[in-house]
């Protein structure tokens, strides 16, 4: 019965001290495997906090704050950290939410208008391309802005400037995170009704975690905070 006792009492292989630090997709999958249950609970908190609609931007900021902590491998006390961030960033997140939502709505309206007109007039293809690039850049900037907002308290203009700089410096990881979010919701639509519980269990929190993971390095770069100098932090991308 030695094997049976060893199965429960023998030390596991552990993690080699000289093992290289994981990066990129491998690190993303590693954090997801460790924190999936926290993300499920975070998803539920987000849904409850955003039921009144007007609280949606603050709920997003609170979820971003917890997601950044997960990316940096910091200890989190989910309910406390979420509630504190929700109250702390309520007004700032609401103001930025209105501005960014308005900008994205105008961009999408321009895309749809030019796309409809371009069918009959190829001259509208150029402004359509401009509208697509501008809207995509605004979405990337929004991703960096929410991460920077919950990492450091900054004046509005400096926050916008740093978010823009981060978007110019490293736009591809943020675009990849947005594509990952689009894929999540596309899977929900394609596999409905089998996927009916996806939004209730992990779509929102996993999507925000992907955004926080994708923009983390750029946020640290523009803040001049080397990732390796942060306590318990890991290279996120």
Mean of pLDDT values over 213-229:
82
Q: What is the pLDDT of residue 183?
A: 96
d(CA 67, CA 204): 11
Mean of pLDDT values over 187-192:
92
Q: What is the pLDDT of residue 18?
A: 60
Q: Is 82 among the domain residues?
A: yes
Q: Is 125 among the domain residues?
A: yes
Mean of pLDDT values over 22-45:
91
Q: Is 111 among the domain residues?
A: yes
Q: Is 236 among the domain residues?
A: no
Is residue 211 a contact partner of residue 181, using CB atoms and an 8 Å limit?
yes
Mean of pLDDT values over 5-16:
45
pLDDT tens sequence across 102-140: 999 999 999 999 998 888 888 888 999 999 999 999 999
Q: How many H helices and E strands in the chain?
A: 10, 0
Band of the pLDDT at 2, cuts 50, 70, 90? low
Q: Is 13 among the domain residues?
A: no
Q: Is 7 among the domain residues?
A: no
The number of C-alpha atoms within 13 Å of 132 and in the hemisphere containing its C-beta is 8
pLDDT at 232 over 50: no
pLDDT tens sequence across 46-63: 999 999 999 999 999 999
How many domains, in total, are found in the chain? 1
Band of the pLDDT at 234, cuts 50, 70, 90? very low
Residue for token pair 């949606």: 56
Q: What is the pLDDT of residue 55?
A: 96
Q: Is 53 among the domain residues?
A: yes
Cα angle 51, 54, 56; round to 5: 65
pLDDT at 151 over 80: yes
Q: Is 14 among the domain residues?
A: no
Lowest mean pLDDT among 38-42, 64-68, 79-83, 232-236: 232-236
Band of the pLDDT at 5, cuts 50, 70, 90? low
This prediction's pTM:
0.84
Q: What is the pLDDT of residue 226?
A: 55
Q: Range of 91's domain?
A: 23-229
Q: What is the mean pLDDT of the chain?
A: 87
d(CA 176, CA 171): 9
pLDDT at 177 over 60: yes
Q: What is the pLDDT of residue 123?
A: 85
Band of the pLDDT at 224, cuts 50, 70, 90? confident
Cis status, amide bond into 193, omega within 30 of 0: yes
d(CA 230, CA 127): 43
Band of the pLDDT at 70, cuts 50, 70, 90? very high
């Amino acid at each position: 019965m030695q094997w049976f006792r060893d199965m429960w009492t023998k030390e596991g292989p552990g993690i080699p001290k000289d093992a290289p630090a994981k990066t990129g997709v491998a690190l993303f999958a590693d954090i997801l495997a460790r924190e999936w249950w926290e993300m499920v609970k975070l998803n539920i908190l987000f849904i409850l906090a955003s039921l009144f609609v007007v609280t949606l931007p603050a709920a997003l900021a609170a979820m971003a704050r917890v997601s950044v902590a997960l990316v940096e491998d910091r200890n989190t006390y989910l309910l406390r950290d979420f509630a504190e961030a929700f109250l702390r960033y309520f007004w700032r997140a609401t103001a930025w939410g209105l501005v960014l939502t308005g900008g994205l709505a105008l961009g999408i309206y321009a895309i749809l208008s030019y796309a409809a007109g371009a069918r009959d007039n190829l001259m509208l293809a150029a402004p359509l391309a401009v509208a697509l690039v501008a809207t995509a850049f605004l979405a990337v900037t929004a991703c960096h802005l929410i991460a920077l907002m919950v990492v450091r308290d900054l004046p509005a203009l400096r926050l916008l400037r740093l978010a823009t700089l981060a978007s110019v410096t490293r736009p591809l990881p943020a675009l990849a995170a947005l594509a990952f979010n689009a894929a999540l919701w596309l899977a929900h639509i394609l596999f409905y009704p089998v996927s009916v519980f996806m939004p209730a269990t992990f779509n929102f929190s996993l999507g925000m975690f992907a955004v926080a993971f994708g923009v983390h390095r750029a946020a640290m770069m523009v803040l001049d905070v080397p990732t390796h100098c942060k306590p318990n932090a890991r290279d996120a991308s």
